[in-house]
Amino acid sequence: MRNCTQFYIDGRWTDPVTPATADVINPATEQVSGVISLGSEADVDLAVKAARCAFGSWSQSSVAERLDLLRAIQAGYAARMQELGEAVTEEMGAPLSLGTGFHVGLGAGHLQTAIEVLETFRFEEQKGPTLLVREPIGVCGLITPWNWPLNQVTVKVFPALATGCTTVLKPPQLAPYSAQILAEILDKAGVPAGVFNMVQGKGSVIGAALSRHPDVDMISFTGSEPVGVQISKDAADTVKRVGLELGGKSAWVILDDDQLAANVAAATSGMMVNAGQTCSAGSRLLVPNARLAEALAAARSAAETVTVGDPLSDVAMGPVVSKAQWNVVQDYIAKGLDEGAELIAGGLGRPEGIDRGYFCKPTVFRGTNDMVIAREEIFGPVLVIIGYDDMDDAVAIANDSPFGLGGYVSGQDRDTAIAIARRMRTGAIWVNGGFDFHAPFGGYKRSGNGREWGEHGFAEYLEVKSIIG
């Protein structure tokens, strides 16, 4: 049993102003794995006050001082990577190999990237008669989701600290353990009092209090579109900067070549990683109509080979994060069946042989782009395959979405793949794979605003001052 009943405020672990707790459920076992305290507006006030008091000195700290802190954090992070990965597996159900691998690796990568960017970042630049000065924006409220808990915390906390901001973190209620360990790492690394603060609790309470707080200068939020809209409204009265990374319904375009079956299989397996709980997941797979039967067979085979079960064992897919999320996924599968989508693999209920835990079947539909399962973000292991006639048709289908967060193109003709990527209205597009911690990540349309990762992530936390003459 894990106990996360204290908050980290002003350099100390403190009890909440008003005691209130909630159980944390292990999604693989449906058993209580620990308890967290639920914070209140009073706790937020204390954390924001500490951050505001610390901003004066931390905003004036040197690049060398900030680099020293980040490197000390890096050493502490490296020493606890196994523990962090185990926490991710316990809190949100990722297979242990994924938790101790990519989940933890993302956090380490964002930390190293923050160090690399800070080493060469130009906070001052002479432009003719004007000196452009980039200064930290102030106190930042950071609100993060449960699906990639370390990634989402580290991609916000480390750039904020590196640019001289002070922070109040509201980690996810459903997945609080890895953030708790990260706070311990920052404390041991010697983060100055008030520079980093953390208050656990409900988003409707802590997130709302941060968004409305007059002494918070910026909100960075990753999560669902409806919550992002509400945060923007709450922040408007105090004219805060608001950075939003919201939902997605990303298209994955498969080109017509002799690698089609292999690319379809890879896309199908990729959709099931993290139980489909990835905002940029390629959940709409676009394939040539002329080879639809071949594509469906490849997708069916790939989905049926995805192993599902105890995340502590050697499986490819664990449970979704909660009973509520399991119900959401089941409802969407039922909607797909009701709409007349052709079920290619998976379907309703738990996988055969599993009688507890929030496990879903890796599910593939053949559908059309006007179906609910192709329009709305499901956030589960559900893939919709849609046929296209030619490249213009593929681009039109890909862009016919209210979202624009991620996109994918797979095929041997790189020039064609790049040409399609240029026409897709989305913030990040992977052409035949690849990965880059310095590539800006963020959305078009209802997928949000602003960019994270790398140098562009620094810009989110900086104001630009012109000194003229």
Token pair for 363: 């599910």
Contact of 133 with 123, CB cutoff 8 Å: yes
C-alpha–C-alpha distance, residues 86 and 363, integer Å? 27
Strands lying side by side in the sheet with 241-245: 12-14, 7-9, 196-198, 166-170, 139-143, 218-222, 241-245, 448-449
The catalytic residue among 86, 91, 245, 460 is 245
Whole-number pLDDT of residue 318: 98
Q: What share of the chain is helix, strand, coil (3-state, %, to 5)?
A: 45, 25, 35
Q: Which of 221, 161, 170 has its CA nearest to residue 195?
A: 161
Q: What is the mean pLDDT of each run of 10 residues along the chain (469 residues)?
A: 97 98 98 98 98 98 98 98 98 98 98 98 97 98 98 98 98 98 98 98 97 98 97 98 97 98 98 98 98 98 98 98 98 98 98 97 98 98 98 98 98 98 98 96 97 98 97
Task: Give residue 14's identity as a one-letter amino acid code.
Answer: T
Catalytic residue among 279, 360, 452, 460: 279
Give me the domains of the chain, ranges plus CATH numbers.
2-246+447-468 (3.40.605.10), 251-437 (3.40.309.10)
Q: Write down the pLDDT at residue 107.
A: 98
Closest CA to 445 of 408, 403, 406: 403
Q: What is the pLDDT of residue 78?
A: 98
Q: Is residue 245 annotated as part of the catalytic site, yes or no?
A: yes
Instruction: Report the amino acid identity of residue 42.
Output: A
The pTM of this model reads 0.97
* pLDDT at 320 (0 to 100): 98
Q: What is the pLDDT of residue 279?
A: 96
Question: Is 4 labeled as catalytic in the residue annotation?
Answer: no
pLDDT for the residue numbered 464: 98
- 360: number of Cβ within 10 Å: 27
Supply the pLDDT for residue 216. 98
Shortest CA distance to 88 belongs to which of 184, 158, 19, 24? 24
**Amino acid 221: pLDDT:** 98
